[in-house]
Amino acid sequence: MDSAQVDAYLRRIGVERPELPTADALRELHLGHLRSVPFENLSIHLGEEILLEEDRLVDKVVGAGRGGFCYEVNGAFGALLGALGYEVALLAGRVFNEDRLGVPYDHMALRVRAVDGSVWLADVGFGAHSHLPLAFEERGEQVDPGGVFRIAEVGEAGEVAEAGDLDVLRDGTPEYRLEVRPRALGDFVAGAWWHRTSPASHFTRSLVCSRVTEDGGRVTLSGRRLKVTRGDGAVEERELARDGEVLAAYREWFGIVLDRVPVVRGAERQGATG
């Protein structure tokens, strides 16, 4: 990323360029990203190409004003952090699905080292997750606006796993398992392909567009259902009957301008038009 691209990315997430790659600046960048760049899988259902190439990912987030799923938003965010002077490693994860783990390269997260040597787990691509980076080497509970998190070494309960693997838990429930070996962006191509093509992937079976709101709550548009959770916990939900309402919600809540309503692949279109 060149300097102009960095400046444009920072404008996109509403954060000033930090003088140094500090831990405090990382927190601000992380939260700004979650508030501005939605976690979404619209490209899958709009028939848009998804390429795991740094320039394409950054252009989608910055130039097109869109978001993406984990590979896209964490890939783009990692590029920004690297351009700002942070040491960034891409880590592969497998998401817990009830009693089993997902496919290899199921998830991407970031290990980030700040200028003072502190190491952080940054993840802006898991939907409802921590609002702030988690201290990577801390094994106790970490209280965050998104919940109580813990990074645990796998095998604490006698489980057999790869040496060094880590489980990330939220409110006591395992969310995903991380490998600690750094990966290249191209390593995730197979996982991204599986998630955008397999009938077994939840991304091909549903629509989601979600971001953190300025008051610490969350807004999510799942197909035609709009859910707004306020920072105080109050929840408002409603079904959007007309296409015009859906397109307006994408535009007003997420800054995404579409010319048609995304529909889950293979699903018969429901509801009125407008």
Task: Determine the residue type at 8.
Answer: A
pLDDT band at 170 (very low <50, low <70, confident <90, very high): very high
* CATH level 3 topology of 3-189: Arylamine N-acetyltransferase fold (3.30.2140)
Query: At 271, is the pLDDT very low, low, confident or very high (cuts 50, 70, 90)?
Result: very low
The closest of 31, 30, 83, 26 to 54, measured between CA atoms, is 83
pLDDT digits (tens, 9 = 90+) for 204-228: 999 999 999 999 999 999 999 999 9
Give the domain ranges of the chain. 3-189, 200-267
Domains 3-189 and 200-267 fall in the same CATH topology: yes
CATH architecture of 200-267: 2-Layer Sandwich (3.30)
Spell out the residues 6+ positions from residue 117 whose beta carbon is closer than 8 angstroms to its own.
Answer: none
Question: Residues of the chain with pLDDT > 90: what percent?
Answer: 90
What mean pLDDT do residues 251-261 have? 97
Tokens of 217: 């709550």
Q: Are 34 and 212 a contacting pair, CB within 8 Å?
A: yes
3-state secondary structure the chain: CCHHHHHHHHHHHCCCCCCCCCHHHHHHHHHHHHHHCCEECHHHHHCCCCCCCHHHHHHHHHHCCCCECHHHHHHHHHHHHHHCCCEEEEEEEEEEECCEECCCCCEEEEEEECCCCCEEEECCCCCCCCCCCEECCCCCCEEECCEEEEEEECCCCCCCCCCCCEEEEECCEEEEEECCCCECHHHHHHHHHHHHHCCCCHHHHCCCEEEECCCCCEEEEECCEEEEECCCCCEEEEECCCHHHHHHHHHHHHCCCCCCCCCCCCCCCCCCCC
Q: pTM for the whole thing?
A: 0.93
Lowest mean pLDDT among 27-36, 62-71, 108-117, 265-274: 265-274
Over range 40-62, report the average pLDDT.
Answer: 96
| pLDDT above 70 as % of the chain | 94
